[in-house]
Amino acid sequence: MHKIKTVGIVGTGVIGSGWAARCLAHGLDVIATDPNPGAEERLRVKVGNAWPALQTLGLMPNANPNRLRFTTDLEEVCQTSHFIQENVPEQEDLKRNLHREMDALTPPEVMIASSSSGLLPTRIQADCRYPVRVVIGHPFNPVYLLPLVEVVGGEKTLKSSIEKAISFYRGIGMYPLHVRNEIEGYISDRLQEALWREALHLVNDGIATTAEIDDAVVYGPGLRWAIMGTCLTFHLAGGDDGIRHMLEQFGPALKLPWTKLEAPELTDSLIERMVTGTQQQAAGQSVTELERLRDD
């Protein structure tokens, strides 16, 4: 593999722009493409919005937002990049066709990663000539601040490709977690979805508002989760005897119908309640203003 100097970003929405900002802050060149009219301007604005937080964290030598190039030509991205990160909408057919196209245009030694949140890499790589270099590199929003990236290989992915992806992500300050078994939703989104599902039920059943649900995370478990995950947190909840005592004490509650497991129907009325609730929480602040608050 070439030394990675130029990273190709295919799809420059929330996640693609986040990758671009992270790579630029690490002193790399970025070449990006997105067919959406106005995509270049939106990408440059998003990178600009991310830059103050990245400056606070410390930029790598030669880091410069001007090292971002935009093109409407996918082939140029594929021919110029030393590592490609795809970030188009989460639709299997779209990704699968695009990966076939990128694979045909990209030299075989160049890694191609997908930011998919839960699709199976075996299916995304299915129509590629060189599927061995295709991996999932699933990041978390905002990609320029959060270190976690789940790395998942498909049936045809080489172990050495997983290692190359892990090494690249480490080099841009990330914490790569190798998901050793290929499953839909990988690890972290399965956990996130379980929580999200219950939040939707609590709103749907009129038990709590979106603000109350968020308070129930932000002032308590969320602060613990920033330091320890569920397992180690519950080890401490068991006192001196740890998780064994915790399981004895709270294990029986697992049989109570506390959680619903099945997702609720996303009816118009539930969607309306989620939207109205979160807009009230936003209290007139735009998404850009809230992003700045979060980054600070």
Ligand X SMILES: NC(=O)c1ccc[n+]([C@@H]2O[C@H](COP(=O)([O-])OP(=O)(O)OC[C@H]3O[C@@H](n4cnc5c(N)ncnc54)[C@H](O)[C@@H]3O)[C@@H](O)[C@H]2O)c1
Q: Which residues here bind ligand X, judged by CB under 6 A?
A: 10-16, 33-36, 39, 87-90, 98, 115-117, 138-141
Closest to ligand X by CB, 10 or 152: 10
Cα 54 from Cα 64, distance rounded (Å): 11
Residue given tokens 């129930």 in the structure block = 216
Sequence-distant (6+) residues with CB within 8 A of 288 are: 49
Closest to ligand X by CB, 36 or 160: 36
Closest to ligand X by CB, 226 or 254: 226
The DSSP H or E segment spanning 185 is: none
**Closest distance between ligand X and the C-beta of residue 91, in Å?**
8
**Closest distance between ligand X and the C-beta of residue 69, in Å?**
15
Strands 134-138 and 148-153: antiparallel
**Closest distance between ligand X and the C-beta of residue 275, in Å?**
17
Sequence-distant (6+) residues with CB within 8 A of 170 are: 176
DSSP letter string over 109-147? TSEEEE--SS--HHHHTTT-S-GGGEEEEE--SSTTT--
**Closest distance between ligand X and the C-beta of residue 175, in Å?**
15
The two structure tokens encoding residue 89 = 């909408």
What residue is closest to ligand X based on CB? Answer: 13
> If you ran DSSP here, which 8-state letter would residue 265 be given?
P
Neighbours of 141 (CB within 10 A): 12
Residue type, 7: V
Closest to ligand X by CB, 236 or 271: 271
**Closest distance between ligand X and the C-beta of residue 261, in Å?**
23
**Closest distance between ligand X and the C-beta of residue 4, in Å?**
20
The per-residue b/e assignment along 210-219, b for 16 or more CB within 10 angstroms, e otherwise, is beebbeeeee
**Closest distance between ligand X and the C-beta of residue 37, in Å?**
9
Closest to ligand X by CB, 168 or 186: 186
Closest CA to 89 of 117, 128, 122: 117
Closest to ligand X by CB, 10 or 24: 10
Closest to ligand X by CB, 29 or 40: 40
